[in-house]
Amino acid sequence: MAGHPTSPGPVDPGADSPVATTAPGGPVPETRAAPRREERPPLPEAAEDFLRDYGPDAARPRRVLALLSDGRWWTANDLVRASGVAHAVIASLFGALEGAGELEREPGGDRRRLLSPVPYSGAAGPTLADPVAHLLPAHSRAAEELARAVAEGPASDLDLDHVSATAETALRRALFLATRFDLRQRTLLCVGDHDLTSLALALVRPDARVLVVDLDERVLAHIDAVADRLGLPVRTHTTDLRLGLPPSLREGADLVFTDPPYTPDGVDLFVRRGVEGLADPRRGRVLVAYGASETTPKLAAATQARMVRSGLLLEAVWPDFNRYLGAESIGAASDLYVLRPLARALPSPGGDSSRVYSQGVNAKEARGGLDTERATAVLERVAELTGSAPADDGADAGAGAASPALVGDWPREVAGGTRVRLSTWMDSPTAVGARAVINLTGGWERSAPRVALASTADDTFVLVPSSSRWVRDEAGQKGFRALVEPGFRVRFLRGVGAADLTAIRCTRVPEPGAGTAGLLAHVQGRSHGTLTATLRAGLVETAAGRGLPINKRTARHAVAAVPDWVAGHTLLDLPEHRFPGLRTVVSDLVAGLDEAGAERGRSEGEG
């Protein structure tokens, strides 16, 4: 395993070595007795019994006893964060000590302390060397900036299994990456980054290129704001990783870091996306922060087994490397894995699964989605709204052809037109005819505006729970419109199929005009294309519509002058906070056409 010391090899007889050599028949050299290990004084009986029963891994609860030996009041969670020992273990230790009269509880509170801490002073023992602790003092500025960034960052989203890592953990990760690997002029991809590891690496290694992909728009906006303030080389992309990695991030990174949801499915998905992002998986590495309680080893075993079955070598594991502001059930800590892919691609599990998180709307135990009855009611209502007959088992080919395409997860019993997986829909333009109905219930509604933009149909119904942020109030509806207009005309239809469902009807605007609206609609109508390409083509088209024709070279020069965050994105992976800036970019390009036209008119007039 990487990081382990190598054998010193055969001893050179002429070297100064711990093994002396003598000629045959010579005197036996005097040997130096090994120093005796200092014996620790015994602990009180209740503690010794607990450690004995715990087995050879008793060094972990010893950490807790060492902390308690200071005589202060401690909560269980404080001990978890300080020791890295799971909450269940500490609770069990508390029970043993309280039962023996060794521990007292704070009156009216939940803190405990030892009644007689002195007998526990020998609980502390030697510890293994930390791989990066000696590097921390040289990076005080980075530590200060990260502490500020973590403090000002967005709150955890429990639906995404967020638990914030400490600022020091982000710095430790960056130092490990920068020391263990050569990152000069190389690219790190962060698959999810609520912990701000991207910013930490950019502070430590500013000559590296750092890319971030995440579903949480708040996280992306915060990373961009900090990177802009500090001048750091970080670029962000948005996507729902369950549906795939953005094309611009595939096969481009040298290293990947991820702190995924701690379910076997969640780890598998995020690692899989990481491998997809590696330029050369056989040379690259995927670093994973993953933890499980020491009381549930089967969960960790299941996750590790999936890694091995997927063709990943567990090259190294550093226990308790990462620390968190929460997650006490797993000791507020996780291990750092270094994974080495053994093939260019991992075997695909197939299908689009939304249930990769441990809690919230996307947990395995969560309810959601459409059953046959509700799905049928939805399609009947869509048929009424569009004046078309719903499909049925006895419909002829002509009637079936008029049925809308069904995108996403629909019951098999529901009749309809073409069926398209959501991942296919988002990956490339999919021709489905005039109308599509997209099911985003069951945990997919965050991506509603982008799913609408990806449509090739003239009339698209996006079905979401009425509790979705995009439909539940005026602010959410305004936000949705800001992302899809002027290319689409939007209506919010409550109670479609059921009282708790809302359909967002997006109707394509056929002729939005030849100005700013026209250029923006051109880009929105080609959402799978890169922004630079769609802006260039749209600028040529807009110029012709305004009677100011330009060639492709002129358009290329104009688009080359836009802000650098535009490059490398499609409209589908552009972070939400960049959309107002994109409107400004489009407006400036159209204004440039008008200025060029006016200049041309003045020149012709003078001539």
- Single-letter amino acid code for the residue at 368: G
**pLDDT recorded at residue 402:** 67
**Joined tokens for residue 353:** 């699964």
Query: Given a cut of 80, is residue 489 above it in pLDDT?
Result: yes
% of the chain exceeding 70 in pLDDT: 86
198 vs 222: CA distance, rounded Å: 12
Quick one: pLDDT band at residue 38, thresholds 50, 70, 90?
A: low
More confident position, 449 or 355 = 449
Give the contacts of 183 (CB within 8 A, at least 6 positions apart): 177, 201, 205, 207, 208, 254, 255
Q: Is the pLDDT of residue 478 over 70?
A: yes
The lowest-confidence range among 248-262, 376-390, 515-529 is: 376-390
Look at residue 159 in the predicted model and tell me its pLDDT. Answer: 80
What gap in Å lies between CA 91 and CA 329, rounded to an integer? 11
Provide the residue count of the chain.
607
Strand order in the sheet with 285-290: 234-238, 209-214, 187-191, 255-258, 285-290, 333-341, 312-323
Comparing 41 with 317, the larger pLDDT belongs to: 317
Query: Which range (120-134, 435-449, 473-487, 573-587) has the least confidence?
Result: 120-134
- With contact defined as beta carbons under 8 Å apart, do 271 and 345 qualify? no
Q: Quick one: pLDDT at residue 577?
A: 97
Question: What is the largest distance, in Å, between two alpha-carbon atoms of the chain?
Answer: 114
Q: Which residues of 469-500 are buried (b: 16+ CB within 10 A; e: fewer)?
A: ebbeeeeebeebbebbbebbebebbeebbbee
As a whole-number percent, the residues of the chain with pLDDT over 90 amount to 74
Q: Do the Cβ atoms of 156 and 219 come closer than 8 Å?
A: no
Residue 238 forms beta bridges with which residues? 214
pLDDT one-digit tens code per residue, 179-203 = 999 999 999 999 999 999 999 999 9
DSSP H helices in 55-120:
59-68, 76-83, 87-99
Mean predicted confidence (pLDDT) in 233-237: 97
- The model's pLDDT over 141-177, given as tens digits with 9 standing for 90+, comes to 999 999 999 999 998 887 877 788 999 999 999 999 9
**Is the pLDDT assigned to residue 1 strictly greater than 50?**
no
Three-state secondary structure call for residue 301: helix
Strands annotated E in 350-500: 405-408, 419-420, 435-439, 459-465, 488-494
pLDDT band at 513 (very low <50, low <70, confident <90, very high): confident
Other beta carbons within 10 angstroms of residue 258's beta carbon come to 27
d(CA 529, CA 454) in angstroms, rounded, equals 10
Which helix (DSSP H) or strand (DSSP E) does residue 501 occupy?
strand 501-508
Q: What is the pLDDT of residues 368-393, one digit of tens each?
A: 679 999 999 999 999 999 987 655 54
Give the model's pLDDT for residue 392.
Answer: 52
pLDDT category at 362 given cuts 50, 70, 90 is low
Could you tell me the pLDDT band of residue 18, with boundaries at 50, 70 and 90? Answer: very low
The Cα 217–Cα 238 span in angstroms is: 7
pTM: 0.85
Is residue 465 within 8 A of residue 502, CB to CB? The reply is yes
Q: Which of 126, 140, 168, 112 is nearest to 38 (CA)?
A: 126
Confidence (pLDDT) at 374: 95
pLDDT (average), residues 251-275 = 94
Determine the Cα–Cα distance for residues 428 and 414; give it in Å rounded to an integer.
25
* Predicted pLDDT of residue 606: 60
**pLDDT surpassing 50 at residue 89:** yes
Phi, psi of 596 (to 5 degrees): -65, -40
Residue 394: pLDDT over 70: no
pLDDT at residue 13 tops 70: no
Return d(Cα 586, Cα 565) in angstroms, integer. 14
Please state the rounded mean pLDDT for residues 22-45: 57
